[in-house]
Amino acid sequence: MIAKPVDKFIRRAVVVMGCAACLGFGQDSSVTSVISGRVVDESGAVVSGAVVRYSRVPRLEADVVAGETRYALAPGETERGGVVPTDAGGDFATEALPSGKYSLCVSPPLGFLDPCRWHSRTEVVVDSGETATDVQLTTRRGAVVRIEVDDPKQQVRFGSGPGGFRNLILGVMTSGGAFDSARVLERSGTLWKLAVTVDYEVPLKLWVFSRHLQLVDEGRGTLNMEGPNQDFIFVRGESDRIFRLAVAGALADRK
């Protein structure tokens, strides 16, 4: 089970997504609409190698049960979402979609920020049979937090967990409680290399969580394995920052 602060972040994300869906409205759900556009940086230069995530915002109906308000899809409403990569020119086009309002986000290459995580999401409305063209999604450049983990006894388990590990979560937490996981880039011998892009002038904490491993920092100081560790912030113009960690051994499972 993920640490309580991470659980809280996940629950909060679900609530926010649900509230965004409440802003939807009635739509014709025939699957004939397309959204196309381009991903660029703040200078207007194209960004290739990005992935555009899209999700339909359906209309919900509220129902009060035992004093608790619950939301469900309104009659005739459908949910739809997917991902599409940009080409070498930064262009993208979705598959045929039901008409309606769509929320668009970008998973950009390292060094660029996901606008939905760090700034604001883009919403587009398409009518039945319409192609929404020239949709421009802007991703800003950010600073890169690099994390290196020396794992001499091969105790870190690569898998489907956040960032790529099954028994270890590494990343950053903002002062507002938003978490972004660092993702595995490569493994070289006993060294795992991960990275995550963050914004400038945002107070951050290095986040380390595991129920099974104890990590230490570069000076062999013991890290808090339940989440928050070192505070830091990037100022504009600052280069990438590297945190060098190591697996010191196993921990007994926490209850």
> Furthest-apart CA pair in the chain: how many Å?
61
Which two tokens mark 152? 């001499």
Q: Where are the domains of the chain?
A: 31-62+70-138, 143-250
- Residue 30 pLDDT class (50, 70, 90 cuts): low
Residue 95 identity (one-letter amino acid): E
pLDDT at position 66 is 76
**Which residues make Cβ contacts (< 8 Å) with residue 56, sequence separation at least 6?**
78, 79, 80, 81, 97, 98, 100, 101, 102
Helix, strand, or coil (residue 118): helix
- Rounded Cα distance between 250 and 255, Å, is 15
- Per-residue pLDDT reduced to its tens digit, 220-241: 999 999 999 999 999 998 889 9
| 173 pLDDT above the threshold of 70 | yes
pLDDT classification of 19: cutoffs 50, 70, 90: very low
Examine the pLDDT at 5 and tell me if it is beyond 70. no
| Model pLDDT, residue 22 | 39
Mean pLDDT on 74-92: 89
pLDDT(12) > 70: no
CA distance 185 to 163: 10
Q: Which residue matches tokens 């020396």?
A: 150
Is residue 73 pLDDT above 90, yes or no? no
CATH class (in words) of the domain with range 31-62+70-138: mainly beta
Beta bridge partners of 149: 192, 245
Model confidence at 2, in pLDDT bands (50, 70, 90)?
A: very low
Fold classification of 143-250 (topology level): Immunoglobulin-like (2.60.40)
pLDDT at 21 exceeding the cut of 50: no
Q: Given a cut of 80, is residue 26 above it in pLDDT?
A: no
pTM of structure? 0.76
**Contact criterion met (CB below 8 Å) for 132 and 36:** yes
Q: How far apart are CA 208 and CA 187, in angstroms?
A: 19
Q: Are residues 159 and 166 in contact, defined by beta-carbon separation less than 8 angstroms?
A: yes
CA 178 to CA 205: how far, in whole Å?
A: 11
Same fold? 31-62+70-138, 143-250:
yes
Residue 39's Cβ-side half-sphere holds a number of Cα atoms within 13 Å equal to: 28
Give the least confident one: 7-11, 121-125, 156-160, 163-167. Answer: 7-11
Task: Tell me the pLDDT tens digit for each residue of 110-154.
Answer: 999 999 989 888 999 998 888 888 899 999 999 999 999 999 999
**Segment of 55-69, 74-88, 223-237 carrying the highest mean pLDDT:** 223-237
